[in-house]
Chains A and B, each alone.
Chain A
């Protein structure tokens, strides 16, 4: 667990399509552009790949003690992104994937 290994796992899961999304109620088409098919897994990987160590944060999930939630906030071509998810059942689950100003 940590920036490098979490980033690598997210990229690996995007590459292998080993990911799904939290089916959260509400505006999934705005809060998770990957789930909404607005961006492709390849584009998502390009965004995640731009993350640096100081773009990474690990937090407890607001509802459960485990697993923790990781947050990536890479700056890509002038746009800050907000990517949030967790690892469970040996895969990535995305909660959010959107520009941070939307």
Chain B
């Protein structure tokens, strides 16, 4: 394994696109430019000994490319507020199903959104969410808990659609999502606890 880690000054041979020839090349750390303009720093690259072009990319640096791509796919964030009892309920629901790398509130919100994503179910479930107003837990306690929620663009768009349709704020929608419990939602909760 050790011999396959390129180190500064190591030599190789590679096809150089600039020279259009097989050239000797020397490995060294350098900045690498991705197509979207992102500069990835300290990538192990083989530089052509004749023209100096970056001709080879070491497999040991793939994680740097991956990290740069992940950073570019930054997730949208929002902060929601809810009461302690509602948060306790969310944690209990998710704990019952398993555990997840996401927060319990995120798991439940994504589970409800997963159901709402299906057009034939959307209307029915939006009505369920709207008619949760009398639930005691929705009214009890102060909104003392502030939680960051992360989601990708698709989820953000869906959340925007359903909050507009219900005329609820994001926080209120999440609070009600925590109270929405049936077999279909719970099935998604179980799936997200595998993540």
Question: Which residues on A are within 8 Å of B, measured CB to CB?
Answer: 16-30, 34-38, 41, 61, 63-64, 66-67, 86, 88-89, 91, 93
User: Is A22 touching B15 in the complex (CB atoms < 8 A)?
Assistant: yes
Kindly state whether residue B54 has any CB partner on chain A within 8 Å: yes
User: How far, in Å, is B174 (CB) from chain A's closest CB?
Assistant: 32
Pairs A–B under 8 Å by Cβ, sample size 21? A17-B4, A20-B6, A20-B14, A20-B58, A22-B15, A22-B56, A22-B57, A23-B32, A23-B54, A23-B56, A28-B57, A28-B65, A34-B59, A34-B62, A36-B66, A37-B62, A37-B64, A67-B22, A88-B13, A89-B13, A93-B56
A89–B131 alpha-carbon span in the complex (Å): 69
Q: Which residue of chain A lies nearest to B11 when distances are taken between CB atoms in the complex?
A: A89
User: Is B57 touching A23 in the complex (CB atoms < 8 A)?
Assistant: yes
A27–B37 alpha-carbon span in the complex (Å): 11
Supply 20 further A-B pairs (C-beta < 8 A) apart from A20-B59, A91-B12.
A19-B59, A20-B6, A20-B12, A20-B46, A20-B58, A21-B57, A21-B58, A22-B55, A22-B57, A23-B45, A23-B54, A28-B34, A35-B65, A37-B63, A37-B65, A61-B15, A64-B21, A88-B22, A89-B14, A93-B15
Q: In the complex, which residues 62-84 of chain B have their Cβ closer than 8 Å to any Cβ of chain A? A: 62-67, 69
Q: Known contacts being A23-B55, A23-B56, A93-B15, is A64 close to B20, with CB within 8 Å? A: yes
Question: Which residues on B are within 8 Å of A, measured CB to CB?
Answer: 1, 4, 6, 12-15, 17, 20-22, 32, 34-35, 45-46, 54-60, 62-67, 69
Point out the residues of chain B lying under 8 angstroms from A24, CB to CB.
Answer: 17
